[in-house]
Amino acid sequence: MEINSQVFGQIDGQQVLEYSLTNDSGMTVSFLNFGCVITKVLVPDRQGNVENVVLGFDNLDDYLKWSPYFGAVVGRVAGRIQGASFELDGKEYHLTVNEGTNQLHGGNKGFNSVIWQAEPIEEEEAAGVKFFYRSVDGEEGYPGNLETIVTYLLTNENELKISYEARTDQPTLVNLTNHSYFNLSGHNKRDVSEHNLKLDNDRFVELGPDLIPTGTLLETSGTPFDFRGGRQIKDGIESVHPQNLLAGNGYDHPLVFSKQGENKILLSEAESGRALEVTTDQPCVVVYTTNQLEGPFTISGVPAKKYLGICLETQGLPDAIHHSEFPSVVLKPEEVYRQLTAFRFFVQS
């Protein structure tokens, strides 16, 4: 196992470093201490061609100017909070607004846009980096000083494990995830419309016009949101289901796992042979098929366009604070927030 680092740029006089982990099989994962952004995941296809399978930029300026959360850890709360406000223990909190009248992914200074302290770590058959960030009381409107640790660990089994831990000194909200955009074709040669996605989900969260959950869980049977038997992403892109149309012709929905505890997601692309198995302890995965991706910029030389990547955001249900029937995302001082999601890359025959 190897751990290397290099200067990627500077923000307000602080160095942004890019760390690269390479395992004994030759898989490499690179990421920044800025937003814990994963910049590259280099894995082989069935012909042995090693290519990047996540969307990212080659320089810091592009991340600062264009990035729609590419590869970042988002928080304190992933997803949208309706009205950028909530009530907790009888007190009303008003958050920063950064999308319409709502807050998205933690606000203007979310976890994706701060520099984290970093500490390289080595274990038997694995190596990684542990990131630390202290979000102060009142930051982006949230109560409590929140101490957060995110650990990226690469194993010799081509598995990237991401673990999260957080503690607070006041009741607050916490719902973290990683926002990587995957494209298993390698170097964005093709879009993700023919990627196949499989997971055990019998329900999905209905969204309103502003993509905020209505609170209703819809049955997936007989819809393009049923991934239990596996289906291609283009099923949702071409669908006339009202929820697919609402999201901009595709997916931007929380898919709720059928059972609690450990669940698996399988993403694969037949032409390259690459496959990604995601294992998580979270109750849902937000699947976003870059229906809104556009702009005057390129990603590894490829113009930004719809369906160039797919996000698998394992997390608690979005806007849970406004829906008592959803699992709570409230963290209290006597509790510890913990989450674990692992990404294992392999080649199918």
Measure the CA angle with vertex 37, ends 262 and 43; round to 5°. Answer: 70
How far is the C-alpha of 281 from the C-alpha of 10, rounded, in Å?
35
Q: How far apart are the first and last CA of the chain?
A: 27
How far is the C-alpha of 102 from the C-alpha of 96, rounded, in Å?
8
Q: What is the pLDDT of residue 349?
A: 82
Burial code of 119-142, b = ≥16 C-beta within 10 A, e = fewer?
eeeeeeebbbbbbebebeeebbbb
Q: What is the pLDDT of residue 90?
A: 97
Q: Where are the beta strands (DSSP E) in 57-212?
A: 73-74, 80-81, 85-88, 91-94, 103-104, 117-123, 126-135, 146-155, 159-168, 172-173, 177-178, 181-182, 196-199, 201-207
The CA R_g of the chain, rounded to the nearest whole Å, is 19
User: Is 322 labeled as catalytic in the residue annotation?
Assistant: no
90: Cβ contacts below 8 Å, ≥ 6 apart: none
CB atoms within 10 A of CB 195: 26
Secondary structure of residue 152 in the 3-state scheme: strand
Q: What is the pLDDT of residue 255?
A: 98
Provide the token pair at 282: 């979270």
Catalytic residue from among 51, 140, 159, 179: 179
Identify the CA nearest to 78 among candidates 320, 326, 341: 320
Contact between 21 and 103 under an 8 Å Cβ cutoff? The reply is: no
Q: Reply yes or no: is the peptide bond before residue 228 cis, omega within 30 of 0.
A: no
Q: What is the pLDDT of residue 138?
A: 98
Q: What is the DSSP letter of 101?
A: T
Sequential pLDDT tens for the chain (349 residues): 999 999 999 999 999 999 999 999 999 999 999 999 999 999 999 999 999 999 999 999 999 999 999 999 999 999 999 999 999 999 999 999 999 999 999 999 999 999 999 999 999 899 999 999 999 999 999 999 999 999 999 999 999 999 999 999 999 999 999 999 999 999 999 999 999 999 999 999 999 999 999 999 999 999 999 999 999 999 999 999 999 999 999 999 999 999 999 999 999 999 999 999 999 999 999 999 999 999 899 998 999 999 999 999 999 999 999 999 999 999 999 999 999 999 999 999 8
Report which secondary-structure segment, H or E, holds 46: none
Residue 182 phi, psi dihedral angles, 5° rounding:
-95, 145
Work out whether strand 177-178 and strand 73-74 pair parallel, antiparallel, or are unpaired.
antiparallel
Secondary structure of residue 248 in the 3-state scheme: coil
How far is the C-alpha of 317 from the C-alpha of 282, rounded, in Å?
9
User: Is 195 labeled as catalytic in the residue annotation?
Assistant: no
Dihedral sign, Cα of residue 98, residue 12, residue 180, residue 188: positive
Catalytic residue from among 18, 159, 269, 313: 313
Q: What is the pLDDT of residue 120?
A: 97
Identify the CA nearest to 315 among candidates 168, 152, 205: 205
CB atoms within 10 A of CB 245: 11
Helices (H), the chain: 60-66, 234-237, 242-246
Contacts by 14-20 with C-beta closer than 8 Å and gap 24+? 14/115, 16/60, 16/115, 17/118, 19/118, 19/120, 19/129
